[in-house]
Amino acid sequence: MSLAFDEYGRPFIIIKEGETKGRTRGLAAQKANIMAAKAVCNILRTSLGPKGMDKMLQSPDGDVTITNDGATILEQMRVDNQIGKLLVELSKSQDDEIGDGTTGVVVLAGALLEKAEALLERGIHPMRVAEGFDQAATIAVKHLEDVADTFEYQDRESLVQVAMTTLGSKIVNRAHRPMAEIAVDAVLAVADMERKDVNLDLIKMDGKVGGKLEDTRLVRGIVVDKDMSHPQMPKTIKNAKLCILTCPFEPPKPKTKHKLELETVQAYQDMQAAEKEYFIDMIKKVKDTGCNLVICQWGFDDEANHLLMQNDLPAIRWVGGVEIELLAIACDARIVPRFSELTADKLGSAGSVHEESFGTTKDRMVVIEDCPNSKAVTVFVRGGNKMVIDEAKRSLHDAICVVRNLVRTNKIVYGGGASEIACSIKIMEESDKVGSIEQYAMRAFADALEMTPGALAENSGLNSIETVAAVKAMQIREGKSFLGVDCMHKGTNDMKEQGVFETLIGKQQQILLAVQVVRMILKIDDVIQPGAYQ
């Protein structure tokens, strides 16, 4: 800071920003980073488990979202701190790779950082802490494989139980089992069991306001959020032969900027007759193939619409590109870009096409069912308002992803914090065999794993320390890795009996991703702020 004078002799102060902003180094930088990460983790901690609380998020334009999905909360939060943004990316990675466990992975990362902070204060080098965490994570991942159970795909009930565990904390638990069954049936409809793969792009999710949550259903076909282009066209078509067009049902427009001037009435009538002839020729080409339903990506004007209706050719216009691709897959149709290429072998088929209307507003949708290739399905969500429908879609997406993971790897571990406590016990045993300083980090990792069941117990209204200690003692005494926290107050800690399952691959990914981000944060020992060097 220095004093200066202007041309009139008036004094003013010059403040140099570079001096005030500076940089943070060493332990102070690591503590600041850990504090920022813990602040984000503490927000999500109360959303964990079947009794977890929801968060209300208001966007700048006033839209309100109520959810307890970790990825959604972090995505819509305005996080300015760079370490906080790392945790947002962590949750997003878990969502992209696994689909569920987005809250748990952030809570685990926060617990690890909290324990790491205590080790740093004791003078242990950050890299030794990170290496100890890596060793502990390797032990935990291997132990999860040892305690995991296997089930066959034919056992649909196990898939439903896992989906129900996923949906236990969601807003849709009023229709708990029906929603889980919809998620399982949707995945099984599109799954390739030989390759052990599921293409989630074949599962379309659509929703309409009005009706009850229980009215949500799985359509083994495609739901198109459009109606027939003319109100007098038939609303139901059986044994439909449909053609999918990406060319407009209208005369070609000049590609130049020249104007077309019609000076006489006869010239206008001639042009109108030519356009009508053009429409009739297009309709004839479609009818000659045996088609009785046209699905067009583009719109068509009133004249084309009227001629289609007169020629008994129902049509749906303005159908999106994604829906067109799904229709082509489901109905075994070829997408036709030009009328000259339209042939009978490019038509698709469907057993039933009908238009449905909803509620007092009479919103209309076209449902295409009984397709020859049922690989494409639609989950049609109903709800009282848009907020409920959006949360139901997010919840079903999580359940569908979990069932997809089971098709890939048919291994399950037990929820309710049972797998975390089992891994904690194992890591604590293995840490005694390590002679180096990493054993302190391994024990800290074991303590951090117990914070997840602690949060489950706390959110369920139980005494977290007492509950976790009791479950841990039972696991050690009985040697059963499926004993967890009784969040639903059913009177038993046996997660097998309660039917609380999680996918092995999802739980392993949670641990590995959390350790990866914690390692990254611990390695940062110098935070240079903007304006430090000017």
CA atoms of 72 and 106, how far apart (whole Å): 13
| Phi/psi of residue 483, nearest 5 degrees | -90, 125
With contact defined as beta carbons under 8 Å apart, do 449 and 471 qualify? no
Nearest of 83, 66, 90, 77 to residue 43 by alpha carbon: 77
| Tokens matching residue 296 | 């067009």
| Phi/psi of residue 219, nearest 5 degrees | -100, 120
Question: 404 to each of 27, 504, 534, how far by Cα in Å?
Answer: 43, 12, 53
| Catalytically annotated residue among 398, 467, 486, 494 | 398
Q: Which amino acid is at 186?
A: A
CA atoms of 49 and 393, how far apart (whole Å): 19
3-state DSSP call for residue 208?
strand
Query: Based on C-alpha coordinates, what's the Rg of the chain?
Result: 30
3-state DSSP call for residue 350?
strand
| Catalytically annotated residue among 24, 46, 67, 69 | 69
49: buried, middle or exposed (CB in 10 Å: 19+, 13-18, 0-12)? buried
Nearest of 434, 429, 347 to residue 143 by alpha carbon: 429
3-state DSSP call for residue 79?
coil
DSSP single-letter state for residue 210: B
For residue 398, indicate whether it is catalytic: yes
| Element at 518 (helix H, strand E) | helix 504-522
DSSP single-letter state for residue 529: P
With contact defined as beta carbons under 8 Å apart, do 198 and 376 qualify? no
For residue 146, indicate whether it is catalytic: no
For residue 69, indicate whether it is catalytic: yes
Vertex 268: Cα angle to 267 and 273 (nearest 5): 95
Tabulate helix, strand, coil % of the chain (nearest 5): 50, 20, 30
CA atoms of 135 and 133, how far apart (whole Å): 5
Torsion of CA 32, 37, 43, 47, to 10 degrees: -150
Q: Which amino acid is at 326?
A: L
| Catalytically annotated residue among 46, 102, 378, 503 | 102
| Phi/psi of residue 241, nearest 5 degrees | -110, 110
CA atoms of 32 and 291, how far apart (whole Å): 68
Q: Which amino acid is at 477?
A: R
| Catalytically annotated residue among 46, 103, 216, 452 | 103
DSSP single-letter state for residue 407: H
For residue 360, indicate whether it is catalytic: no
Number of continuous H segments (helices) and E segments (strands) in the chain: 18, 21
Catalytic residue annotation: 69, 102-103, 398
